[in-house]
Amino acid sequence: MLPFVQQVASDDHLPDAVDVVVVGGGIVGTAATYYLAKRGLKVALIEKGHIACEQSSRSWGWCRLQNRDPREMPLSLLSMRLWDSLAPEIGQDLGFRRTGLIYTTDDAAMLAGWEAWTPTAREFGVETYMLSAKEAADHIPQTRRKWLGGLHSVRDGKAEPALAAPVLAEGARALGATIHQQCAARGLDITNGRVTGVHTEKGMIRTDAILCAAGAWASTFLRRHGIRFPQASVRQTALRTKPTVNVGEVLYCPDLAMTRRLDGSYTMAISGRATLELTPQGIGFAREFMPQFIQRLKAVQLGVGASFLTGPESLSAMFGRDDRLFERNRIAAPVPNRRLVQAIMDNVRGTFPQLAGIEVDHAWGAYIDCTPDAVPVISAVDPVDGLYLAAGCSGHGFGLGPGIGYLASELITNDRPSVDPTQFRLNRLVDGSTIKVGSL
């Protein structure tokens, strides 16, 4: 667990029965728990490790509409409205700020790609403006780079990955939900095709509805019950600096992305510099992911690493029958790529002379769970009545988290959904439909 993540206390006793069990304590699971509890349901959230111990605390923290795939735009609009409302509702700061996002580039093709998204911006009313070379330099001054141009997404912003899911969990608890950490789900209890409970390492909880929000572990969890969920994890590296001078709130350029944290530090990464490791699960889903692999071949590196033998896509996860698998893997925390950490620091020092003395506080690796079309799954799961899935966020989960949790709560309670859930149904990935790969 990253040392700066806000810790959440666990409830002492596992309930015998609840209306809904949520499996997974990341941003999606905690948001769903909060909104289900807000609807008056009795909810238990179970997490094999700690709240936000994996990808939800390791993200950039961006909350954006800009450059979203059109299929995600209604959900993105909903999420931004929810981000606005969460701190006043819960009474705690999640670090959400509409600071705007600044994109700059010295790459003509990248600039053209941003401009090509402007019809989508107009369609959905996103306040975004292309920047000339001079305007880009005005927004990111005192650099050693000469920008060709850029983009300003005015109403987008950021939140704190170290705070958001923990605050949502505490908000859910205040509404009556219970939080159970170090409590792995071992499997579902199913009777006559319907969910009747979940078996955990601390005992069984009886329930009529289960939401699997298990991130990179979702496919492994569902596979044990004969459910196919095509999912692949990409390993990324990011770092957090020590507090330093302010060069901007949320900045993006071709070889650097920077997000200023509330304590004056920065989260830094390089977009597209990820590793797709060969794993047994990846081989099993190769056909579904081939269109995405072909389209994004230049954006990832291929390799074989520890994930072949350990973690959510390993041999033991794919073929093993160990019902203790999840508790034996409390936190999936791949080691950071040290060469990439050095490249990030070289890039920032080479761009900003005022950051020449910047220091790394902490670096980490993370698994980003993807679907074949890079669009999340938020869906009932056939043929098991009462089972729901919210996963496969493809690197978009933090900003979309409140909306994903909200939509999942509507599906579970059979309320009229705030956005059309058709684009997010699981069956699109397994029924032979043509896969259209979404935006990064």
pLDDT digits (tens, 9 = 90+) for 205-234: 999 999 999 999 999 999 999 999 999 988
pLDDT at position 319 over 90: no
Secondary structure class of 365 (helix, strand, coil): strand
**Paired tokens of 303:** 């390799």
User: Half-sphere exposure of residue 17, counting CA atoms within 13 Å on the CB side?
Assistant: 5
**pLDDT at residue number 310:** 80
Q: What is the CA radius of gyration of the chain?
A: 21
pLDDT at position 25 over 70: yes
CB-count exposure of residue 235 (10 Å: 0-12, 13-18, 19+): buried
pLDDT at position 53 over 80: yes
Per-residue DSSP letter, 344: H
**pLDDT at residue number 299:** 62
% pLDDT > 70, the chain: 97
pTM: 0.96
- Cα–Cα dist 438/353, whole Å: 36
% pLDDT > 90, the chain: 82
- Cα–Cα dist 195/227, whole Å: 14
What is the rounded average pLDDT of the residues 69-81?
Answer: 97
For 326-336, write each residue's pLDDT tens digit.
999 999 999 99
**pLDDT at residue number 302:** 66
Beta bridge partners of 105: 149
Residue ranges of alpha helices (H) inside 329-384 are 338-351
**pLDDT at residue number 360:** 97
**Cα separation values, 239 from 21, 229, 336, Å:** 33, 31, 9
> What's the mean per-residue pLDDT of the chain?
94
For 304-314, write each residue's pLDDT tens digit.
777 777 888 88
**Paired tokens of 337:** 């790529």
What is the rounded average pLDDT of the residues 190-201?
Answer: 98
Q: Are 281 and 371 in contact (CB under 8 A)?
A: no
**pLDDT at residue number 378:** 98
**pLDDT at residue number 296:** 64
For 280-306, write each residue's pLDDT tens digit.
888 888 888 888 877 765 566 666 777
